[in-house]
Amino acid sequence: MPDLTESITVHSPADALYRMVSDLPRMREWSPECTRVTWSSGQSSGGSSVGSGAGPAPGARFVGHNRAGVVRWFTFGKVVTAQPGRRFTFDITFGPVPISRWDYEFTPTATGCEVTESWTDHRPTVLKLLFRPVFGNRAPRNAHGIHTTLTRLKPPPKQPREPDSPPAQPERVWRSGRLVGNLARRVFTGGAQPCAAPPSVMTAYS
């Protein structure tokens, strides 16, 4: 039975969310502690290429790099369950020592999908006591991590569209042009009477 679990409803298809979560090198985008994930080999045990459209198969191994404050560490992982659009599970170990199991379940809903993330602590009691001064109590830290991860899976809210500037009214443009034309005639003609050309100009062109 998991030690921690939380669910969230996301307005995205289950298949799309599964692809996001199972693409483990992207985990740093969702998890507040994960900084990097690298696959240990280019091929999953099921024969599909890691990172391909099919995603990793059970047995695919990876290395996870993590950080919490000034503390940095790495762990080893192995994909246990890979059911596209339904469930993705992996186990974490440190060498031969079991650490935890992370599980993601995807349940389609009328508006998208319900994602449930669970964490099960597999650490031996001695290891918990030994690492507690360094890593603290993992339960509240992981509860915060689960909540953050699920929240980041939500698509960003749509920004309100800026209202378009109203087009210029043809009648208003025509009136403005007519007004400018009238003012120009008044300036250059001195009113309604036309302005006679200067004598020098008349001599030059006569």
Dump pLDDT digits (tens) for 49-59: 454 556 899 99
List, for residues 149-206, the tens digit of each pLDDT value: 999 999 876 666 666 655 555 555 445 555 545 654 664 455 545 444 444 444 444 4
Residue count of the chain, please give it: 206
Amino acid at 45: S
pLDDT more than 70, % of the chain: 69
List, for residues 64-120, the tens digit of each pLDDT value: 999 988 899 999 999 999 999 999 999 999 989 999 999 999 999 999 999 999 999
d(CA 16, CA 22): 10
Is the sign of the CA dihedral 22, 27, 31, 37 positive or negative?
positive
Give domain 4-152's CATH architecture: 2-Layer Sandwich (3.30)
Question: So what's the pLDDT on residue 27?
Answer: 96
**Any idea what DSSP says for residue 29?**
G
The confidence band for 134, taking pLDDT boundaries of 50, 70 and 90, is confident
Q: Indicate the SS3 state at residue 20.
A: helix
Question: So what's the pLDDT on residue 156?
Answer: 75
Question: So what's the pLDDT on residue 155?
Answer: 84
Q: Which of 30, 8, 15, 17 is nearest to 114 (CA)?
A: 8
